[in-house]
Amino acid sequence: MLKHRGFPGRLPGTDFQFTIRRSAKGGAAPLKRRERHADRKPRDRDADLGFMWALWRQFGAAPFERGNLDAGRLGWLLGREVVPAEDSFDPRSYGALLVIDEAVARRSFPDAFEE
C-alpha cells in the first residue's frame, strides 16, 4: 500500500480521518459511492471540503493511486468529484487509480481551489 507522504491524516481539530495507517489483513475496504444529502451537518461538509482541498494540493489533475487514502472519506466524493482513472478499476485495490474531475470538483467545492 502506497503511503501518500505529506497528505494530512485528518481534518485539523477533528476526528474526520483522511488516511489509514496500515493495510487491512483481509484487503482494502471497497470504495463505494456515498450519497451526500442536503441535510448533512456542516462539520461533514467541512470534512468533504478539507479532503478535496488536500487531494487537489497533493495531486492536482493527475491520476493518483488510492494507497492509504480512507475508503469512507473517498466514498463521499467517488463518482462525482473523484472518478476512476482507468477502465479496469478495482474498488478493492490499494493500487486503484483515481483522478479528480476538475470541472465537477470546482462546482462542488470552489473554496478548495482558491490560492
Question: Where in the chain are the domains?
Answer: 42-113
| pLDDT at site 13 | 83
Q: What is the mean pLDDT of residues 19-35?
A: 85
Q: What is the mean pLDDT of residues 57-74?
A: 94
Q: Which residue pairs from 87-94 have beta carbons closer than 8 angstroms and sit at least 24 positions apart in sequence?
A: 91/30, 91/31, 91/32, 92/27, 92/28, 92/29, 92/30, 92/31, 93/28, 93/66, 94/1, 94/2, 94/23, 94/28, 94/65, 94/66, 94/67, 94/68
Can you give the pTM of this predicted structure? 0.91
When pLDDT is cut at 50, 70 and 90, the band that residue 28 belongs to is confident
| pLDDT at site 56 | 96
| pLDDT at site 24 | 72
| pLDDT at site 47 | 93
| pLDDT at site 80 | 95
When pLDDT is cut at 50, 70 and 90, the band that residue 51 belongs to is very high
